[in-house]
Amino acid sequence: MDKKSLGLTLGMLGLVLIPIAIYSVVVAGPAGSGRYDQLAQCLTDKGTKMYGAYWCTHCQSQKRLFGKSFSKIKYVECNLPGEQEQTRECKDAGINSYPTWEFGDGSRLEGQISLEILAEKSNCKGVMK
């Protein structure tokens, strides 16, 4: 490979890797635990779960509230990419809108819910930071 081709290849590689690096630092944040790990784990331990859809903007906003800690939330995807219908689990649960939060006592809240309300409904207020 001559110097011109090598330079072009490295330049193109940089155009791909630099945005990925910026995204991982600015958007995804540093590696490690999330800010709301204790709350998210408490919600899951208390039987709270979120039903949502990958295309739902309110679901995405709800996930962003938790940041990395959302990985600890019991999440049920109701619409798989490429599928026209809701999943059987969500149909059987009677999910009509996204996001829908279901609590351990069987009660539900629909829409984007604040972390404080989720903590209160699930008796997890003591772990809010």
Residue 3: which pLDDT band, with cuts at 50, 70 and 90? low
Domains of the chain, each with CATH number or no CATH: 47-127 (3.40.30.10)
Contact assessment for residue 102 and residue 108, using Cβ atoms and an 8 Å cutoff:
yes
Identify the pLDDT of residue 84. Answer: 85
CB atoms within 10 A of CB 26: 8
pLDDT at 13 over 70: no
Can you tell me the mean pLDDT for 32-41? 90
| Confidence (pTM) | 0.73
Q: Which two tokens stand for residue 48?
A: 């709270």
Can you tell me the mean pLDDT for 24-36? 58
Identify the pLDDT of residue 126. Answer: 84
CB atoms within 10 A of CB 40: 25
**Tens digit of each residue's pLDDT (9 = 90 or more) over 55-86:** 999 999 999 999 999 999 999 999 998 888 99
Identify the pLDDT of residue 83. Answer: 86
Q: For the chain, state the CA radius of gyration.
A: 20
pLDDT at 104 over 90: yes
